[in-house]
Chains A and B, each alone.
Chain A
């Protein structure tokens, strides 16, 4: 008996020492001041990483930072992958997008069902010689989705790494979600820009002046015809005339620029719907692009989406589309709208370098602005050189995420594959754009579906109040136990403190994250860990009351209490496991500490206290137990 007690005692001391060893890195880190950490990071970054990987992490709610969940747009991905799209396809896609909002099913499953219900087949849109059956196509689409999400994650990782946040956490969640956690971020809107941008860079040729003009006039006529049928016939005559002398009719059609601006001011207040005069103007400088007053942006977008207008574009310009300027131009009064080829001449996947710098002093419009210049790799440069060589005197739009940043006229064949994006407002904006260009475009758009940002001061407050209440809570319990169970109570208190040390050591070993709910979990464990000892002590008291000896009472007490402690802890552990499985973020943190706490408390409350009792009894003859 005595020897087994000694063995147990040795084991407990060993576990205790091991715990202290595991907690040492956490202690070291918490003792370091901010500047000391910076110094260490400069002198010996590996050492700091090593320290951090062996200590308890603080959750974002405690140290401040940004937690973002991104969802990869599978709808857009399908849209990109599909060939021969038609009404059935688009409708099924729209329906699916609406339905998955309220369902647990994944997008592809719902989409397949919707498509089949509408009489469509996946093979029709995604099939090829290799993909001839529905099941094959489905497998292919699943593969594509998985690959897209993996690639998106890689690209986001590159972006975040370049942005320079300490220890970013980037994980995939479920099928098409990516969680990004960034500690100590001070400018959330910048991060949002950085990670939310698709960064799809394309070069698209503008349609020739004559084509753009014809489309603009047809749309103008269409708008006129909707305002009043009489006007439309007049406008029709004008269009005929315009073929003879376009510059004259332009001024009649769209007015002088000075007039346009005054008209634009009133246009914003006009609520007659999208059909109104002065909705848009032809740019008198270039006569190739359309100017839309800032206030009319949404209306003109709606106009462009109309089937009739799409038909006009198709008939007059073929496979073309209108793209908007990234920002309002001409004293911020107008958006410039460009008619470009749908097909891009070159995409930005071939960028090797991208650097931010201040705008050129030579160009009055770029003074005080910032730009990003970039270089294409050899393949890109070759294509760029061919495209520019074949299209001299034409305009080439630099398009980023479907917005036109620049549309210069090609003067000479460009051989070195260099180009730039201009007109950025801040240096930070330019830096971030350079980062995303270097990191590459996301294979599909992503949207931020959840964001939680905690300021560093709130984190500090939380740590303080959390640890303070943990301490007060423990103090109250410790004092109560000593009063109620005397020396035995003090023994239980010792077990309690060991318990907390063990919990922290286990968390440090697994490099787990301590969150605010996690602290709450520990505090609750304090309360519940006492329970095991209360159960045991009550049983011992009962046995003593029956007149048994101290030793027999302790034996009996532990024996009788064991089944209750086991069952109670197992059921709570089951609840904890379920919480951990189904919970997200904060709930997971809580469940984790609760589970670790249950295991640790079983050990300290049953094994540790028992060994101490046994040891004391074996050393001294105890007539009366202090309980």
Chain B
């Protein structure tokens, strides 16, 4: 069995299509970010208090909201979590963990007496912790990019390092953009997912670059020149790129469906990231290296 045997797709010639498509994706992501006033951070970043309750019977959000509102806690955010049996209540920074257990829960118990519940999860994050997390995240992205840039420069060439980094930034931007468009909360695990995407996208890109590196060495006297070599390398690795992405996608998709509510958004970020990462390693990273090369030789 074999997919994509001996393909000869002209990726480089048609690189403008990829550039335009990516620009559109990035622009719509940025538009959404502006529209939403930034990313929708969860309490890991903003700080606050959150409690997850599991009821014995399905429960309506409205019942809980009206109970809390009548006691003066109307500004809490109440959502179902995965199933109608589970509810997440997110209160502000002023409410303490004790208040949630000792004030909120009795109110709900009183309002819905025939539907007992247990506390599944309680989280309270101070405002300082959240700010630190953002700083840590930024530092992580920054250092990951710098270290990888140096490694790729050492193993390959500067123009390839540049292409890899561009593809990487491209992936992170688009993934965050999609999260903004779909209004998905950014939590600490999502950040982990985004950073995994960084690694994964690189993985793909580097396999292609490795082939280019090899082909440049072996077929120095090739008539098709730099562009031809890159295009052939892309085609030669296409089968591997697709197979690997598919197997990883299988696993992550299963995680999305069966991994439970806690891992769902994490898995979703990975699905998006893998699709985008695979796409960028074919349509962005190497074409960018070509574009960069052409412009530089023109400038000379």
Contact = CB atoms under 8 A, between A and B. Distances in A.
9 contacts: A189-B97, A466-B260, A469-B255, A527-B247, A568-B202, A575-B196, A575-B198, A585-B188, A587-B195
B97 to A, nearest CB: 5
A51 interface: no
Contacts of B198: 575
Contacts of B244: 527-528, 530-531, 534-535
B240 A535 contact: yes
B252 interface: yes
Given A192-B98, A450-B124, A585-B188, A576 B266 contact: no
Interface stretch (B13-21, B22-30, B127-135, B287-295): B127-135
A587 B189 contact: yes
Nearest to B139: A582
A468 B258 contact: yes
B121 A530 contact: no
B248 interface: yes
Contacts of B189: 517, 520, 586-587, 590
A590 B195 CA distance: 11
Contacts of A309: none
B250 A579 contact: no
What interface size band does chain B fall in?
35 or more
Contact of A477 (B119, B155, B214, B247): B247
B263 A520 contact: yes
Contacts of A61: 262
Given A568-B207, A578-B147, A581-B140, 8 more contacts: A61-B262, A104-B135, A465-B260, A527-B247, A571-B206, A574-B144, A590-B189, A591-B192
B129 A450 contact: yes
Interface string B148-164: 10011001000000000
Contact of A473 (B1, B137, B254): B254
A524 B255 CA distance: 10
A448 B148 contact: no
Interface of B: 1-2, 52, 54, 97-98, 101-102, 118-129, 131-133, 135-137, 139-140, 143-144, 147-148, 151-152, 155, 188-189, 191-192, 195-196, 198-200, 202-204, 206-207, 209-211, 213-214, 236, 239-240, 243-244, 246-252, 254-255, 257-260, 262-263, 266-267, 270
B195 A472 contact: no
Given A462-B260, A465-B259, A480-B250, A587 B139 contact: no
A198 B101 CA distance: 22
A504 interface: no
Nearest 3 A/B pairs, CB to CB? A527-B248, A465-B260, A575-B199
B255 A102 contact: no
Contacts of A69: 129
Contacts, number: 231
Contact of A582 (B1, B121, B136): B136
Nearest to B209: A567
Interface of A: 61, 69, 71, 100-102, 104, 188-189, 192, 448-455, 457-458, 461-462, 465-466, 468-469, 472-474, 476-477, 480-481, 483-484, 516-517, 520, 523-524, 526-528, 530-531, 534-535, 538, 541-542, 560, 563-564, 567-572, 574-576, 578-579, 581-587, 590-591, 594
Contacts of B270: 524
Nearest to A572: B199
Given A582-B140, A583-B192, A567 B206 contact: yes
Contacts of A570: 151
A578 B146 CA distance: 11
B257 to A, nearest CB: 8
Contacts of A524: 196, 248, 251-252, 270
Residue of A61, A466, A524 with highest tally of chain B CB at under 10 A:
A524
Contact of B203 (A481, A520, A526, A528): A528
B144 A455 contact: no
Contact of A452 (B122, B143, B200, B249): B122
A571 B251 contact: no
A136 B143 CA distance: 36
A455 B121 contact: yes
Given A450-B126, A450-B129, A572 B247 contact: no
A192 B206 contact: no
A227 B143 CA distance: 63
Contacts of A472: 254, 258
A569 B196 CA distance: 12
B128 A451 contact: no
Contacts of B209: 567
A102 B148 CA distance: 30
Given A448-B124, A516-B263, A575-B148, A476 B251 contact: yes
A583 B140 contact: yes
A568 B203 contact: yes
Contacts of A481: 247
A188 B121 CA distance: 11
Contacts of B151: 567, 570-571, 574
Given A104-B132, A451-B97, A579-B140, A517 B260 contact: no
A180 to B, nearest CB: 14
Given A189-B102, A578-B195, A473 B203 contact: no
Contact of A572 (B98, B129, B202, B249): B202
Contacts of A591: 192
B131 A102 contact: yes
Contacts of A520: 189, 192, 255, 259, 263, 266-267
Contacts of B207: 535, 564, 568
Residue of A449, A517, A538, A542 with highest tally of chain B CB at under 10 A:
A538
B122 A453 contact: yes
A536 to B, nearest CB: 10
A530 to B, nearest CB: 5
Contacts of B243: 484, 534, 538
Nearest to B211: A564
B121 A453 contact: yes
Contacts of A454: 120-121
